[in-house]
């Protein structure tokens, strides 16, 4: 049955599709053809009026969590209006659908879940370990837009909820993260919302609060052991890629040890990447490339201290090593020597006496001559870093004295408190500005407000070093090039494109990342670089993309990418096309 048959057989179904429904802006003609008269007030409004009303309603909510619920409901009832509003009001709405509010939403997800979407409208795909025998059927059940049955999903973001932002194990309440990431794919890179699947696997939770919460909607059991976890993930991925063979899979917010093991296992076997390891690595490499120009110290002379040694920190460190090797001619050993890791026990050294997690061993220091450094002040004194990156989820760890030490050591200290959401950040932008007397070169994981110098009135803008500047473009580029795997080269090309995406004006303002309203342009440039690199490394399989890259015309490639981006106007056209068949 075609989409058109479907609609002709049940005309009112059109208005029930969140994708095709245009609410109060549905034309009189369409209302007549679909037998919708009387089902809403007769007035036909413009999209502009709809957006204006939605914005007034949004702003009338007193908490960000209420705003999150309001926006989720809007997305699940009127895709067109939702993404038009998000596109217009990116700076106001992104912190509501993504970090920081998505963190609060996840903490409360089971309580708000029934109010996010109308009955029958799924807000993500939940796969419990008890579903193992029926995975295929359950994956096929997920049809948020059944009226548009010809559209095949292309991107899945999958979590097990075990490390949601810096908030720890939230079990299935982590669903807000895949949902939020995929909204950024749509808003930030023009992926058709019908082609996205947010997935949360339920393998239990070790969070006692969740286990004791009567409203918690996940399995009330501790997380399963690895001998059950890995086969279940395997079954999910196999089934998913059997049902949707071209699906790109983004691993998100798995606890670090599992994250590394899953990436190692699947990166050459599936079309996939890990956002926390690779996406974060790429976005911070991009910010670092721009920051060292501002700092004015040659790349090779930097000393980079990571506060936190999990998936994000080690993912970044590995990409920095590639950068020093590829772009600055350092040996791998010399590049590795530029990195120091700190974890909850202090400086990561080979002779510390504990068994280091596998992902830390490569960067463990052996030049500490038997001395161990347990607190950050001692580590800073020992290392004398030019760069301090926070990936520890320890709020306030970059104290006044830490920031003052960084400013004493450096004319322009590079300090990135990257933990999310804002409540977990190692310091705020204001603290960094005040305690370094304005010298800091700054980026944070969640956006902080601008800072106004009380003496001069000078306003400074913080950078947002968040993987949202990478994964949407990387995913789009991957879908357009169609390689079998996402190679390290593709990730590296995404980082470089992100660094180069700054306009001369942004550069002259000392910004490290492009301003948020340009995220679609940035994603297009990242995607174009990924497509070009995939052709260069010989993995691209999309003949159209290969032919365009071979013309060696950057503008044509960007046009190709942009023309493949979904817009709310494309949704308009889908409605008009259907209406023409009625």
Tokens of 413: 């200290």
**261 to 280: interface string for ligand NDP, x by CB under 6 A:** ---------------x---x
Nearer to ligand NDP by Cβ, of 423 and 562: the residue is 423
Please tell me whether residue 466 binds ligand NDP under the rule CB under 6 A.
Answer: yes
CA distance 135 to 369: 54
Please tell me whether residue 311 binds ligand NDP under the rule CB under 6 A.
Answer: yes
Please tell me whether residue 276 binds ligand PYR under the rule CB under 6 A.
Answer: yes
Nearer to ligand NDP by Cβ, of 169 and 574: the residue is 169
Q: How far is the CB of 420 from ligand PYR (least distance, A)?
A: 4
Cα separations (Å) of 223 from 31, 170, 203, 217, 253? 50, 11, 5, 15, 15
Cα separations (Å) of 388 from 285, 417, 427, 429, 496? 13, 8, 12, 14, 21
Helices (H) and strands (E) in the chain, counts: 28, 14
Please tell me whether residue 308 binds ligand NDP under the rule CB under 6 A.
Answer: yes
Please tell me whether residue 167 binds ligand PYR under the rule CB under 6 A.
Answer: no
Q: Annotated catalytic, 98?
A: yes
Please tell me whether residue 169 binds ligand PYR under the rule CB under 6 A.
Answer: no
Residues 506-545 contacting ligand PYR, CB under 6 A: none
Q: How far is the CB of 225 from ligand NDP (least distance, A)?
A: 19
CA distance 96 to 110: 18
Binding test (CB under 5 A) with Mg ion, winner from 148, 173, 202, 253: 253
Sign of the CA dihedral 353, 357, 358, 363? negative
Q: Is 541 annotated as a binding residue?
A: no
Partner touching 308 among ligand NDP, Mg ion, ligand PYR, none, CB below 5 to 8 Å by kind: ligand NDP
What letter does residue 46 receive in the DSSP assignment? P
Please tell me whether residue 319 binds ligand NDP under the rule CB under 6 A.
Answer: no
Q: How far is the CB of 24 from Mg ion (least distance, A)?
A: 37
Binding test (CB under 6 A) with ligand PYR, winner from 33, 466, 482, 523: 466
Strands 346-347 and 339-343: antiparallel
Contact yes or no for 255/278 (Cβ under 8 A): no
Please tell me whether residue 100 binds ligand NDP under the rule CB under 6 A.
Answer: no
Please tell me whether residue 467 binds ligand PYR under the rule CB under 6 A.
Answer: yes
Q: Is 252 annotated as a binding residue?
A: yes
CB atoms < 10 A from the CB of 233, how many? 23
Q: How far is the CB of 281 from ligand PYR (least distance, A)?
A: 12
Partner touching 392 among ligand NDP, ligand PYR, Mg ion, none, CB below 5 to 8 Å by kind: ligand NDP
Nearer to ligand PYR by Cβ, of 78 and 311: the residue is 311
Q: Is 276 annotated as a binding residue?
A: yes
Contact yes or no for 273/166 (Cβ under 8 A): no
Q: How far is the CB of 253 from ligand PYR (least distance, A)?
A: 5
Query: What is the size of the binding site for ligand PYR (CB under 6 A)?
Result: 8
Tokens of 434: 């005040």
CA distance 158 to 142: 14
CB atoms < 10 A from the CB of 213, how many? 16
Nearest to 159 by CA among 39, 86, 249: 249
Part of the chain binding ligand NDP (CB under 6 A), chosen from 233-241, 417-425, 433-441, 549-557? 417-425
Alpha helices in 17-134 (DSSP H): 28-33, 47-60, 64-75, 79-88, 90-97, 101-107, 109-112
Part of the chain binding ligand NDP (CB under 6 A), chosen from 173-181, 342-350, 488-496, 550-558? 342-350
Please tell me whether residue 160 binds ligand PYR under the rule CB under 6 A.
Answer: no
Output phi, psi for 556, to 5 deg.
-65, -35
Query: 437: left (phi > 0), else alpha (psi -120 to 50), else beta?
Result: left
Residue tagged active-site, from 19, 68, 98, 323: 98
CA distance 386 to 409: 7
Residue tagged active-site, from 51, 67, 181, 360: 181
Q: How far is the CB of 580 from ligand NDP (least distance, A)?
A: 44
Please tell me whether residue 276 binds Mg ion under the rule CB under 5 A.
Answer: yes
Please tell me whether residue 253 binds ligand PYR under the rule CB under 6 A.
Answer: yes
Contact yes or no for 221/204 (Cβ under 8 A): yes
Cα separations (Å) of 267 from 248, 271, 388, 485, 486? 11, 7, 29, 7, 7
Cα separations (Å) of 453 from 266, 376, 430, 434? 49, 28, 9, 9
Q: Annotated catalytic, 244?
A: no
Sign of the CA dihedral 97, 478, 256, 266? positive
Part of the chain binding Mg ion (CB under 5 A), chosen from 203-211, 246-254, 281-289, 477-485? 246-254
**Residue whose structure tokens are 């949407």:** 472
Output phi, psi for 564, to 5 deg.
-95, 10
Binding test (CB under 6 A) with ligand NDP, winner from 166, 198, 281, 483: 166
Give me the half-sphere count of Cα atoms (radius 13 Å) on the Cβ side of residue 330.
20
Partner touching 310 among ligand NDP, Mg ion, ligand PYR, none, CB below 5 to 8 Å by kind: ligand NDP
Output phi, psi for 256, to 5 deg.
-55, -45
**364 to 403: interface string for ligand NDP, x by CB under 6 A:** ---------------------------xxxx---------
**Residue whose structure tokens are 């596109």:** 87
CA distance 119 to 432: 46
Residues 104-133 contacting ligand PYR, CB under 6 A: none
CA distance 141 to 155: 17
Nearer to ligand NDP by Cβ, of 202 and 253: the residue is 253
Nearer to ligand PYR by Cβ, of 26 and 274: the residue is 274
Nearer to ligand NDP by Cβ, of 280 and 523: the residue is 280
CB atoms < 10 A from the CB of 361, how many? 11
Q: Is 367 annotated as a binding residue?
A: no
Site for ligand NDP, rule CB under 6 A: 163, 165-166, 256, 276, 280, 283, 307-313, 342-345, 391-394, 418-420, 424, 445, 465-467
Site for ligand PYR, rule CB under 6 A: 165, 253, 275-276, 420, 445, 466-467
**Binding-site positions for a divalent metal cation:** 252-253, 276
Residues taking part in catalysis:
98, 181
Site for Mg ion, rule CB under 5 A: 253, 276
**Binding-site positions for (S)-malate:** 163, 420, 466
């Amino acid at each position: 049955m075609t989409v058109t048959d479907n609609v002709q057989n049940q005309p009112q179904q059109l208005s029930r599709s969140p994708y095709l429904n245009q609410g109060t802006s549905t034309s009189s003609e369409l209302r007549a053809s679909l037998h919708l008269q009387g089902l809403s007030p007769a007035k036909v409004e413009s999209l502009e009026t709809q957006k204006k009303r939605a914005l007034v309603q949004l702003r009338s909510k007193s908490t960000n969590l209420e705003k999150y619920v309001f926006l989720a409901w809007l997305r699940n009832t009127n895709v067109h209006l939702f993404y038009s509003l998000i596109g217009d009001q990116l700076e106001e709405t992104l912190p509501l659908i993504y970090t920081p509010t998505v963190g609060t939403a996840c903490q409360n997800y089971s309580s708000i879940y029934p109010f996010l979407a109308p009955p029958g409208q799924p807000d993500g795909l939940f796969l419990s370990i008890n579903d193992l025998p029926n995975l295929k059927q359950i994956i096929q059940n997920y049809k948020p837009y059944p009226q548009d049955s010809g559209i095949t999903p292309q991107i899945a973001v999958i979590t097990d909820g075990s490390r949601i932002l810096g908030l720890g194990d939230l079990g299935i309440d982590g669903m807000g993260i895949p949902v939020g990431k995929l909204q950024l794919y749509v808003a930030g890179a023009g992926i058709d919302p019908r082609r996205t699947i947010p997935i949360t696997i339920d393998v239990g939770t070790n969070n006692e609060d969740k286990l004791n919460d009567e409203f918690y909607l996940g399995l009330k059991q501790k997380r399963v052991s690895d001998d059950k976890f890995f086969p279940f993930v395997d079954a999910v991925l196999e089934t998913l890629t059997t049902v949707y063979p071209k699906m790109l899979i983004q691993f998100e917010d798995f606890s670090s040890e599992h994250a590394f093991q899953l990436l190692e296992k699947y990166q050459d076997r599936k079309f996939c990447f890990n956002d926390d390891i690779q996406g974060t690595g790429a976005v911070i490499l991009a910010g670092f490339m721009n920051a060292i120009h501002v700092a004015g110290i040659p790349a090779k002379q930097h000393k980079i201290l990571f506060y936190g040694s999990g998936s994000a920190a080690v993912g970044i460190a590995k990409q920095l090593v590639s950068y020093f090797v590829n772009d600055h001619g350092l040996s791998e050993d010399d590049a590795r020597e530029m990195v120091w890791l700190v974890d909850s026990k202090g400086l990561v050294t080979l002779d510390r006496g504990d068994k280091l997690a596998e992902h830390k061993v490569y960067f463990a220091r052996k030049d500490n001559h038997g001395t161990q450094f347990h607190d950050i002040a001692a580590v800073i004194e020992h290392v004398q870093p030019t760069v301090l990156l926070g990936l520890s989820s320890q709020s306030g760890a970059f104290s006044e004295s830490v920031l003052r030490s960084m400013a004493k050591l450096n004319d322009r200290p590079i300090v990135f408190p990257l933990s999310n959401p804002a409540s977990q950040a190692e310091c705020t932008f204001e603290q960094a500005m005040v305690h370094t007397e304005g010298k800091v070169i700054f980026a944070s994981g969640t956006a902080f407000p601008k800072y106004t110098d009380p003496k001069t009135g000078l306003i400074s803008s913080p950078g947002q070093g968040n993987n949202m500047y990478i994964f949407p473009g990387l995913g789009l580029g991957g879908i357009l090039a169609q390689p079998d795997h996402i190679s390290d080269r593709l990730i590296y090309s995404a980082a470089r494109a992100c660094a180069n995406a700054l306009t001369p004006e942004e550069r002259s303002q000392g910004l490290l990342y492009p301003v948020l309203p340009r995220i679609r342009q940035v994603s297009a440039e990242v995607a174009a670089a990924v497509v070009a690199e995939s052709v260069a490394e010989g993995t691209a399989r999309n003949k159209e993309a290969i032919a365009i890259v071979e013309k060696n015309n950057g503008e044509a490639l960007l046009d190709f990418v942009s023309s493949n981006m979904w817009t709310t106007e494309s949704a308009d056209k889908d409605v008009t096309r259907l209406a023409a068949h009625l």
